[in-house]
Amino acid sequence: MNLPAPLKGLAGRHLGTTEDLSDAELAALLELARALKKRPLGRELAGKVLGMVFFNPSLRTRASFEAGMFQLGGHAIHLGIGQGVWKIEHREGVVMDGDATEHLKEAVPVLSRYCDLLSVRAFPIGRQWDVERADPVVSMFQKYASVPVINMESSMYHPCQGLADLATVQEKLGRPRGKKFLLTWAYHPKALPTAVPNSALLAVSRSGVDITLAHPPGYELDPDVMTRVRANCKRTGGKLEVTHSFGRAFADAHVVYAKSWGSLKHYGNEAEEKKARDKLTGWQVTPKEMKKTDGGIFMHCLPVRRNVVVADAVLDSPASVVTDQAENRLHVQKALLVALSQARKGRR
């Protein structure tokens, strides 16, 4: 495939966050994804191998990467850590007298000899945010790999979901500039990672939309992420408003994106976090809120807890585009795999 000039610069690079992409690269990647959606089968990845390393469960991420590799002539290998694959240590200088059998320093270079690309999913442990926000597992993969490494979700980022989110907004709204995008916190019985809301905001803030971020006090997102979101909005002509008012946030929204995440204020203190979260069950998207929007669509990254995060009546309505959103994971990832793998052409 003859790639456009901006995508040629992606060859051989890692992707940890959408912020790793220039505006030109991001636009070209989404354009390629749209083209691959219209023509799903090809041979762009013929002879290429993707090694997928999962420290945590997956449904859409695993299925979409495997399907994408197959549809473009390549092959994906699923490696579930602790599930048929040795437990792996990532910390530097550690005495390995625990459960881990192998270190990333050996595992990653070996996988780089077998595979043309690697991808890794490693959720936060939930103990020390100052340590986990550095995404130590993904960072170690990138440090020791000799092939491109794709972040399939870490403590801080889920770039493939962010790309799919932006692709969906563009697909449904046409020109997003000036439209209102609401990202609202939603109740969940567990404290979830912040990678998805971080990545959704970082991606859509580059489209010129006016963003409203609604969350309860104490559920602020990482300040460094918010600084970059503000900078993106300023550069693209969008606006950013942060509110603690759930009901009023829906007014005139064109997109409603619901997502739950844990409190960084209580990170590592499960009892305090649960005490705060259990008072917030009213943060659920229902038809009452959707009626306040400007014909708004409903988005969620999935999996979603029905009648906890969002009511059946919303999720089953024509406003819900969650399946289209999930499908777009396949297309943006295929575009990403094609662009990153070009440096490995002819390796075999």
Q: Is the dihedral of CA 231, 234, 236, 240 positive or negative?
A: positive
* Beta carbons within 10 angstroms of residue 266's beta carbon: 18
Q: Are residues 97 and 210 in the same domain?
A: no
For tokens 């995440």, the residue is 261
Q: Are residues 146 and 184 in the same domain?
A: no
Please give the structure tokens belonging to residue 279: 């008072």
Q: Are residues 294 and 274 in the same domain?
A: yes
Across-strand partners of 50?
76, 117
Render 164-206 in DSSP notation, one character per residue: HHHHHHHHHHSS-TT-EEEEEE---SS---SHHHHHHHHHHTT
For residue 232, give the 3-state DSSP assignment: helix
Per-residue pLDDT of the chain (348 residues; tens, 9 = 90+): 789 999 999 999 999 999 999 999 999 999 999 999 999 999 999 999 999 999 999 999 999 999 999 999 999 999 999 888 889 999 989 999 999 899 999 999 999 999 999 999 999 988 999 999 999 999 999 999 999 999 999 999 999 999 999 999 999 999 899 999 999 999 999 999 999 999 999 999 999 999 999 999 999 999 999 999 999 999 999 999 999 999 999 999 999 999 999 999 999 999 999 999 999 999 999 999 999 999 999 999 999 999 999 999 999 999 999 999 999 999 999 999 999 998 544 444
Cβ partners under 8 Å of residue 288, min gap 6: none
> Which CATH number belongs to the domain containing residue 243 in this structure?
3.40.50.1370
Q: Are residues 47 and 61 in the same domain?
A: yes
Distances (CA, A) of 292 to 10, 72, 169, 285, 299: 42, 43, 19, 11, 16
Q: Are residues 137 and 184 in the same domain?
A: no
Strands 240-243 and 210-214: parallel
Q: Are residues 140 and 204 in the same domain?
A: no
Domains contained in the chain, number: 2
For residue 75, give the 3-state DSSP assignment: strand
Q: Are residues 243 and 320 in the same domain?
A: yes
Q: Are residues 178 and 67 in the same domain?
A: no
Q: Are residues 149 and 231 in the same domain?
A: no
Q: Are residues 173 and 224 in the same domain?
A: yes
Q: Are residues 207 and 296 in the same domain?
A: yes
Domain of 202, in residue numbers: 159-326
Q: Are residues 142 and 206 in the same domain?
A: no
Give 226: exposed, middle or buried? Use CB within 10 Å, 0-12, 13-18, 19+.
middle
